[in-house]
Amino acid sequence: MIERSTPLRRLLTVEVPILAIIGFALAPYLWMVLTSIKPDADISAFPLRYLPSRVTFEHYFTLLAQTSFLGNLFNSLVVAVGAVAVGLAASVPAAYAFSRFRFKGRQVLMTQFLVINMFPVVLLIIPLFVLMRYLHLLDTYFGIIIGHSTFAIPFAVWMLTSYMNGIPRELDEAAMIDGASRLQTIRLVILPLLMPGVVTTAIYIFVTSWNEYLFAMMLSGDHVRTVTVALQLFVGEFTVQWGLLTAGGTLVAIPVTILFLIVQKRLVSGLTAGAVKA
């Protein structure tokens, strides 16, 4: 576009409005973090004290030392890592099939993965609860990991397929002509090139699992309660202790924020690819 706007004009018509939008996007987050480092006296001060009179980490210490929160964080980590492992193990081969083979039913199956993604969670969660109870998988890591990875697989397959389509077929054909077996070709040629896509997909699955609430709530009991479920129980338990609650919220939000910012550009292009290419 022809750039003729003066710096002042650009400041007023672009930078100030975008600053306001970013303020709106970050304000609730910042308010939560700010509350978590205020002493209790500041939190309940009236009229409100916007900035803390002194910065304190007492809420974090109380939360980690006196509640089950540390254990819940660990549970969420185990579940999310497990979901990444199971999700990748299932979706990388599936993406390979969709990218490298043209077979009968390919289009139907790819579409099927999209449709599955659109089902209301309520539709699945009721029978899954009954099924998991029947299989004695309630309140086990395995039950939640299987559920979380399954919810992430359809999108992971689509993302990985589009990454794999970006790797020229000539490369694997050359390797196979040179005598590499199919599995060797996948391991030595495709996977190294696919790594950025695998990392992005892994983070997508991790964040999806870490953030998930409904399924984890129905499936987890005291043993494998994840952090989102625990935090929601705390809301009922410590209604007035906003210092503790916001400290917990901050501890849950920070890992996903960091992960998301690391792969933000690639993840966004992966997630929006379907929309943009259409």
Interacting residues of 276 by C-beta distance below 8 A, sequence separation 6+? 269
Please tell me whether residue 136 binds other proteins under the rule CB under 8 A. no
Q: Which one of the spans 53-61, 62-70, 190-198, 263-271 is the region binding other proteins (CB under 8 A)?
A: 263-271
In the set 12, 74, 106, 174, which binds other proteins (CB under 8 A)? 106
Q: Which one of the spans 51-59, 62-70, 108-116, 188-196 is the region binding other proteins (CB under 8 A)?
A: 108-116
* Minimum gap (Å) between residue 230 Cβ and other proteins: 9
Backbone phi, then psi, for 268, in 5-degree steps?
A: -65, -40
* Minimum gap (Å) between residue 197 Cβ and other proteins: 15
Query: What single letter denotes the amino acid at residue 172?
Result: D
Please tell me whether residue 131 binds other proteins under the rule CB under 8 A. yes
Interacting residues of 38 by C-beta distance below 8 A, sequence separation 6+? 49, 52, 53, 56, 243
Please tell me whether residue 261 binds other proteins under the rule CB under 8 A. yes
Q: Which two tokens stand for residue 54?
A: 């002194």
In the set 65, 101, 170, 222, which binds other proteins (CB under 8 A)? 101
CA–CA separation, 77 vs 248, rounded Å?
Answer: 15
In the set 51, 103, 136, 222, which binds other proteins (CB under 8 A)? 103
Inter-residue contact 158 to 152 (CB < 8 Å): no
Please tell me whether residue 169 binds other proteins under the rule CB under 8 A. no
Residues 24-53, interacting with other proteins (CB under 8 A): 24-26, 28-29, 31-32, 35, 43-44, 46-48, 50
Q: Which residues of 219-239 are buried (b: 16+ CB within 10 A; e: fewer)?
A: bbeeebbbbbbbbeebeeeee
Residues 171-230, interacting with other proteins (CB under 8 A): 179, 181-182, 207, 210-214, 218, 228-229
Q: Which two tokens stand for residue 165?
A: 């389509």
